[in-house]
Chain A
Amino acid sequence: MKRVCCGRPVFFVKPESGMNRKIMNIYVCVKHVPDSAATITVEGGTGINEKITFLLNPYDEHAVTEAARIKTGLPDAEVVAVCLGKPTAETTLRAAMAMGADRGILIETDRPQDSIFTALALAAAIQSDGRPWIIFTGKESIDSEGMQTQFRLAENLSLPVATNVIKVDIDGDGVRVESEREAGTIDVIRMTAPCVIGAGKGLNTPNYPTFPDIVKSRKKPVRRIGLADLAIESPAAGMQIQELVPAVEQRTPRALTGSAADIAAQIVDILKNEAKVI
Chain B
Amino acid sequence: MTKKYDAIIIGAGVIGAPIAYELSKMGYKTMSVDKLPDAGEGSTAGSCAIVRAHYSTEDGVAFAYEGFKYWLDWENYLDHVKDEKGLAKFMNTGSLLIKSQGHKWQNVKKHYDAVGVKYKELTNEEILEMVPVLDLHEFWPVKRPEDPAFWEEPTKMLEGGLFCPEGGYVNDPTLSAHNIMRAAEAKGATFMFNAEVVKIRAAEGKVQGITLADGTEIDAPVVVNCAGPHSFKINQMAPGVWEGCNIKTKALRHEVMYCPAPEDYDYINKGYHQSDGDIGCYVRPEVGNLFLIGSEDPECDPKEYPDPDEFYAGRGGHGRDNQLTEEQWKAQCYRLGRRIPTLKVPNQPKGVCDLYDCSDDWIPVYDKSDLGGFYMAVGTSGNQYKNAPVVGRMMAELIDACEKGLDHDKKPFQYKMKYIGRTLNVGFFSRKREINYNSSFSVNG
Contact = CB atoms under 8 A, between A and B. Distances in A.
A118 to B, nearest CB: 21
Interface string A204-242: 001111111011001000000000000000000000000
A256 B346 CA distance: 41
Interface in B229-285: 260
B345 interface: yes
B343 A211 contact: yes
A266 interface: no
Interface stretch (A33-41, A69-77, A133-141, A143-151): A33-41
B323 interface: yes
Nearest to B344: A208
Interface string B294-334: 00000000000000000000000000000111100100001
Contacts of A207: 344
Interface string B332-368: 0010011011111111110000000000000000000
Give the interface SS of chain A, mostly helix, strand, loop or mixed. Answer: loop
A231 B151 CA distance: 39
Given A214-B334, A214-B337, A209 B345 contact: yes
A212 B348 contact: no
Contacts of A208: 260, 344-347
Contact of A53 (B337, B338, B345, B349): B349
Nearest to A212: B341
A188 interface: no
A207 B346 CA distance: 8
A58 interface: yes
B348 A37 contact: yes
Contacts of A212: 341
Contacts, number: 54
Contacts of B342: 210
Contact of B323 (A53, A58, A215): A53
Nearest to A215: B151
Nearest to A53: B326
Given A212-B341, A215-B151, A52 B347 contact: no
A175 interface: no
A95 B348 CA distance: 11
A30 B151 CA distance: 26
Contacts of A53: 323-326, 329, 349
Nearest to B334: A211
B344 A210 contact: yes
Contact of B341 (A36, A95, A211): A211
B344 A58 contact: no
B348 A58 contact: yes
A199 interface: no
Contacts of A209: 344-345
Nearest to B260: A208
Interface residue tally on B, bucketed by range: 20 to 34
A147 to B, nearest CB: 21
Given A35-B348, A39-B323, A53-B323, A210 B334 contact: no
A106 interface: no
A79 interface: no
Contact of B347 (A38, A95, A210): A95
A210 B345 contact: yes
Contacts of B325: 53
B337 A61 contact: no
Nearest to A95: B347
A191 interface: no
A162 B252 CA distance: 50
A56 interface: yes
A55 interface: yes
Contacts of A218: 151
B345 A214 contact: yes
Contacts of B324: 37, 53
Contacts of A54: 326
Given A210-B345, A211-B340, 13 more contacts: A36-B348, A54-B326, A55-B326, A208-B260, A208-B345, A208-B346, A209-B345, A210-B337, A210-B343, A211-B338, A211-B341, A214-B334, A214-B345
Interface of B: 151, 260, 323-326, 329, 334, 337-338, 340-349
Which 5 residue pairs spanning A and B have beta carbons closest together?
A211-B337, A208-B344, A53-B326, A208-B346, A55-B347
19 contacts: A35-B349, A37-B323, A37-B348, A37-B349, A53-B325, A53-B349, A55-B326, A55-B348, A206-B346, A208-B344, A208-B346, A208-B347, A209-B344, A210-B342, A211-B334, A211-B338, A212-B341, A214-B345, A218-B151
